[in-house]
Amino acid sequence: MTIASSTNDSQRLQLSPLTLPTRLLLGPGPSNAHPAVLQAMNTPPVGHLDPAFLALMDEIQSLLRYVWQTENPLTIAVSGTGTAAMEATIANAVEPGDGVLIGVAGYFGNRLVDMAGRYGATVQTLYKPWGQVFSLDELRSAMVTHRPRILALVHAETSTGARQPLEGVGDLCREFDCLLLVDSVTSLGGVPLFLDKWGIDLAYSCSQKGLGCSPGASPFTMGPRALEKLQNRKTKVANWYLDMNLLGKYWGSDRVYHHTAPINLYYALREALRLLAEEGIEYSWQRHQKNAEYLWENLENLGLSLHVEREYRLPTLTTVRIPDGVDGKAIARKLLIEYNIEVGGGLGELAGKVWRIGLMGYNSRPESVDQLVEALQQVLPG
């Protein structure tokens, strides 16, 4: 019997080559990758221990330090999405029994609560309605009450569109001998963020939001105080894949094999970061702010109202209240199917109440706003 005749041809799937619609991704992420980033991703892979690839990893580290405004030696990309970098941060920072105070004012605050609990933290929470932020005084009194080892805050709460101010929080944490952990998934690249100046000890992000890249290689950084805590652990980091003791040796001078990096995604990330450095990080922040203001003005001209108070609005993500009597899901579906524009719906407390519109990375351009506003004029009831 030949091999060919032993297979059942009638079971073979016959599919046409991949075709997908081209969409303008103006939801909470992913955003469209920059064309040059997609092109970089098409470069044929080299081996992951090839000297050329190791040099590229060094470049990613330097570029990440620049966009984050930090000098932390342990600044790398985690192979995985933002959630993997989030888990890396929690897994390395938290030891069983540590008090971890988490500011919860949206979906991702809740995810931090769940994750920290799984790594044995004694979770302490501070709540606010979705769309609001914590004041320095509120954070101080919670620190006095709880005396945590770690304070975790979400800089850009993608579920609400609110920007948590961070100035002064690092000093507060030092006063209480506590580490400051920040989710910067929807802020990195698009919202002013000074890691070292603001005393942030641990941070993570993703590639597919403000960096204008495809998902899968996620920024992670750890400062000297966090590193010291890691080195003094009594228990092993409970996650092998994300253990910075091991990953640090792969990214550091030892280059010890740990896992096979997603080579092409690292190509993409390098190109996205290179473009950002070429633009200049502060110019990118200004661009995001300017285009967001243009969006807000246009939405208000359409008679729509925005969920977050202006002072705390994120330039990367805007929550728009769905007018009474309007079917938010039907409008979003029309935008997608008829206009090829993706916007997000609400989560949790805001489910059914808002649309979420992202202007992130490459998509933060006036043309994105114009395209969306023209479509909204057509689909919104007159």
Residues near ligand PLP (CB under 6 A): 29, 81-83, 86, 108, 154, 156, 158, 183, 185-186, 206, 215
Q: Which residue has the tokens 């969409």?
A: 23
Of residues 85 and 375, the one with the C-beta less far from ligand PLP? 85
Q: How far is the CB of 82 from ligand PLP (least distance, A)?
A: 2
Residue type (1 letter), 189? G
Of residues 209 and 287, the one with the C-beta less far from ligand PLP? 209
172 contacts 148 by C-beta, under 8 angstroms: no
Cα Rg of the chain (Å, integer): 22
CA atoms within 13 A on the CB side of 241: 11
Task: Taking each helix axis as running N to C, give the angle between helix 366-379 and helix 328-339, from 0 to 180 degrees, rounded to the nearest 10.
Answer: 120
Strand pairing of 162-163 and 341-342? unpaired
181 contacts 203 by C-beta, under 8 angstroms: yes
Q: How far is the CB of 213 from ligand PLP (least distance, A)?
A: 11
DSSP state of 259: S
Q: How far is the CB of 84 from ligand PLP (least distance, A)?
A: 7
Of residues 108 and 250, the one with the C-beta less far from ligand PLP? 108
Q: How far is the CB of 185 from ligand PLP (least distance, A)?
A: 4
Q: To the nearest 5 percent, what fractions of the chain are helix, strand and coil?
A: 45, 15, 40
Of residues 218 and 298, the one with the C-beta less far from ligand PLP? 218
Structure tokens, 165: 């101010």
Q: How far is the CB of 339 from ligand PLP (least distance, A)?
A: 24
Of residues 186 and 364, the one with the C-beta less far from ligand PLP? 186
Of residues 183 and 271, the one with the C-beta less far from ligand PLP? 183
358 contacts 316 by C-beta, under 8 angstroms: yes
Name every residue whose Cβ is closer than 8 Å to that of residue 239 and which is 6 or more positions away in sequence: 87, 88, 91
Of residues 153 and 226, the one with the C-beta less far from ligand PLP? 153
Q: How far is the CB of 121 from ligand PLP (least distance, A)?
A: 18
Q: How far is the CB of 264 from ligand PLP (least distance, A)?
A: 17
Q: Which residue has the tokens 């246009």?
A: 298
Classified as helix, coil or strand, 132 is strand
As a whole number of angstroms, the distance between CA 105 and CA 102 comes to 10
Name every residue whose Cβ is closer than 8 Å to that of residue 183 and which is 6 or more positions away in sequence: 86, 108, 112, 152, 153, 154, 155, 156, 203, 204
As a whole number of angstroms, the distance between CA 108 and CA 209 comes to 15
Q: How far is the CB of 176 from ligand PLP (least distance, A)?
A: 24
Of residues 102 and 206, the one with the C-beta less far from ligand PLP? 206
As a whole number of angstroms, the distance between CA 252 and CA 1 comes to 54
Of residues 34 and 209, the one with the C-beta less far from ligand PLP? 209
Report the residue number whose CB is nearest to ligand PLP: 82
Which backbone phi and psi does 353 adopt, to 5 degrees?
A: -105, -25
Q: How far is the CB of 13 from ligand PLP (least distance, A)?
A: 30
